[in-house]
Copies of this chain bind each other. A is one copy, B any other.
Amino acid sequence: MPNERVPTRAGVIEAAKKIAAILPPTPLLPVEINGTPCWVKAENLQPIGAFKIRGAWHRLTALSDAGRAAGVVAVSSGNHAQGVAWAAKRLGIPAIIVMPHDAPQVKLDATRALGAEVVLYQRPGEDRDAVAAAIIAERGGTLVHAFGDPWVIEGQGSAGIEIAAQLGHEPSRILACCGGGGLAAGLALACPNAEIYPVEPEGWDMVGQSLAAGEIVRAASDAPKTICDALQPIATKPINLDVLIGRSSPGIAVTDDEVRAAQRYAFSHLHLVVEPGGAAALAAALAGKVKLDLDTVIMLTGGNVDPHAFAQTIGGAN
Interface on A for B, CB 8 Å cutoff? 24, 27, 29-30, 42, 44-45, 47, 49, 106, 264, 267-268, 270-274, 303-304, 307-308, 310-312, 314-315, 317-318
Contacts and interface: CB of A to CB of B under 8 A. Distances in A.
Contacts of A307: 264, 267-268, 314-315, 317-318
Contacts of A310: 267, 311, 314
23 contacts: A24-B29, A24-B30, A27-B27, A29-B45, A30-B47, A44-B271, A45-B270, A45-B272, A49-B271, A106-B268, A264-B307, A267-B273, A267-B310, A271-B272, A271-B303, A272-B272, A307-B318, A308-B315, A310-B311, A311-B312, A311-B314, A312-B315, A315-B315
A30, A268, A273, A310 interface centre (most CB from chain B within 10 Å): A268
Nearest to A46: B271
A30 B314 CA distance: 27
Contacts of A45: 27, 29, 270-272
A272 B317 CA distance: 18
A270 B273 CA distance: 8
A45 B45 CA distance: 12
A268 B303 CA distance: 8
A264 B308 CA distance: 12
A92 B274 CA distance: 35
A17 to B, nearest CB: 19
Contacts of A30: 24, 47
Nearest to A264: B307
A43 to B, nearest CB: 10
Contacts of A304: 271
Given A271-B273, A311-B311, A311-B314, 11 more contacts: A27-B42, A27-B45, A30-B47, A45-B270, A45-B272, A264-B307, A271-B274, A307-B315, A307-B317, A311-B312, A315-B315
Contacts of A311: 310-312, 314-315
A305 to B, nearest CB: 9
Contact of A273 (B29, B106, B272, B315): B272
A44 B45 CA distance: 13
Nearest to A105: B318
Contacts of A264: 307
A230 to B, nearest CB: 14
A308 B311 CA distance: 8
Q: Which 7 A-B pairs have the closest CB atoms?
A: A271-B303, A311-B315, A311-B311, A271-B273, A307-B314, A27-B27, A44-B271
Contacts of A24: 29-30
A196 to B, nearest CB: 25
Contacts of A312: 311, 315
A308 B316 CA distance: 8
A45, A264, A271, A310 interface centre (most CB from chain B within 10 Å): A271
Nearest to A110: B268
Contacts of A303: 271
A271 B49 CA distance: 7
